[in-house]
Amino acid sequence: MNLSYTAEELAFAEMVSDWVAANLPPEIARKTYAGERFSREEYLVWPHILRARGWSMPSWPREFGGPGWTLTQRHLFTEIATVAGAPYIRSAPEKLVGPLLMAIGTPAQQAHYLPRILNFEDHWCQGLSEPGGGSDLTALKTRADRDGDDFVVNGTKIWTSDAQNSTLMLALVRTDQTQKGARGLTQLIIPMDTPGITVRPILHMSGEHHFNQVFLDDVRVPAANVVGTVNAGWQETRNLLAQERFNFARLGESKRHLTRLKALARGERDGDRPMIEHPLFRARIAQAEIALDALEVTTLRLLDAEQAGRPLGGGPNIVKLKGADVEQELLRLIADIAGPYGTPFDVRVRITGSDTVADAAKRSGVALAAWLESRTFSIAGGSSEVQHNMFARHELGLGLS
């Protein structure tokens, strides 16, 4: 196992650092570090800068418009850009939809959808979880019945991230009603402007809107929108979800939170000295940083294993679990610095960046909202409880009743 970078990789990292420093707009980086929300127009600024450079889809091969980077190069690029203050770009089109279409999409699907993903013309959501099914995706009940050249879809999806802004949904539906569990499932591309689709928001406890419940009532979808093989979509979905969980390490985001945490701890005082000089609080920062370092080493081990063709085993589950834990703890520490100032937070401060409130209250409101929102990290991509069960069953050989 090799956890060090080669000379070529270090040169690549230096090139990326220089380019990001020269091209990332300072106001975008400032708002990212402050935890402020972007308008739709602001959100697209950085993606289009990347597109002009040919880096909009870092994980894609050259033949589909990507840079053709190695796994290590992708890791370095993502971490460098994120730590610099580049905003998070939703990963579903790049790391889930795109690879699925490259692997099993028809030539017509590849020709239509992949260029639009590269240019950020479409916005995708995933139609997976359903009410009553928890994290057991094979328990889904949304059905798609063949009717001539179409499928007629009826059912509901829940916890659907960013559905309110999406133009397309990649949905897992049941196309064989005589089957149960993992059999009889199919992946289907559903345009979100199709008649019969209703999107109902699910507000976070911070007051923000990211999750949704999507209702599908007699929604007609062309059979040409099937991705892969009818009734054989479960294994394809499992492969995608394993990749998604690997992406949930979010090392760059956590490193950025750590930088902000230390800066705030130096500036905010508790009594006669900065909080960073209080032994107990300083120890908590150190423990979080140690956990982040361990997460990074684990991620590098997985990168090395994947590049060498070795099985990842339960590694993606570990990264998903600890990635959520580490980021939540860092955001909790930032909220603790805010202290009582954070209690009467107003979510509008984070969304609008309003200057009508005192700076301390503004920072505190943003900090508490971010920490509350971080609770979703334990659910998105498969809940922490499910990750524990999967690891226990498949890696430890424990029979769970």
Alpha carbon 224 to chain centroid distance? 28
Assign domain 124-231 to a CATH class: mainly beta
> Phi, psi (5° rounding) for residue 126?
-110, 125
* Backbone φ and ψ of 297, nearest 5°: -60, -45
The token pair at 98 is 């795109």
Domain 248-394 has CATH 3.20.20.70: no
CB 124 within 8 A of CB 169: yes
The neighbouring-strand residues paired with 191 are: 168
- The model carries a pTM of 0.79
Span 112-127, pLDDT tens digits: 999 999 999 999 999 9
Three-class SS of 15-61:
HHHHHHHHHCCHHHHHHHHHCCCCCHHHHCHHHHHHHHHCCCCCCCC
Contact yes or no for 383/135 (Cβ under 8 A) = yes
Q: Which residue in the list 244, 268, 296, 327 is annotated as catalytic?
A: 244
List, in sequence order, the alpha helices (H) in 85-166: 98-104, 107-118
- Amino acid identity of residue 306, one-letter, is E
Let me know: does 192 contact 219? Beta carbons within 8 Å.
Answer: no
The neighbouring-strand residues paired with 198 are: 215
User: Looking at residue 169, what is its pLDDT?
Assistant: 97
Q: What is the DSSP secondary-structure string of 66-111?
A: S----HHHHHHHHHHHHHHTPPP--SIIIIIIHHHHHHH--HHHHH
Amino acid in the structure at residue 134: G
* Cα within 13 Å of Cα(171), Cβ side: 36
What tokens appear for 321 in the block?
């679990």
In this structure, what token pair is assigned to residue 207?
């007051």
pLDDT at 187: 94
pLDDT tens digits for range 182-222: 889 999 999 999 999 999 999 877 677 888 999 999 999 99
Q: Where in the chain is the domain with CATH 2.40.110.10?
A: 124-231
Using 70 as the pLDDT threshold, list the residues of the chain that sit under it: 1-3, 134-136, 206, 238-248, 340-366, 380-382, 399-401
Task: Let me know if 347 is exposed, middle or buried by CB neighbors in 10 A (0-12, 13-18, 19+).
Answer: buried
The per-residue pLDDT for range 38-71, each reduced to its tens digit, is 888 888 899 999 999 999 999 899 999 999 999 8
Do 213 and 200 form a contact (C-beta atoms < 8 A)?
yes
| Active-site residue flag, 244 | yes
pLDDT score recorded for residue 210: 82
Q: List every span in the chain annotated with CATH 1.20.140.10.
A: 248-394
Q: Half-sphere exposure (CA, 13 Å, Cβ side) for 206?
A: 24
Q: Please spell the DSSP secondary structure of 254-282, one letter per residue.
A: HHHHHHHHHHHHHHSEETTEEGGGSHHHH
Residue 286 DSSP code? H
* Amino acid (1-letter code) at residue 229: T
Q: What pLDDT shows up at residue 356?
A: 47
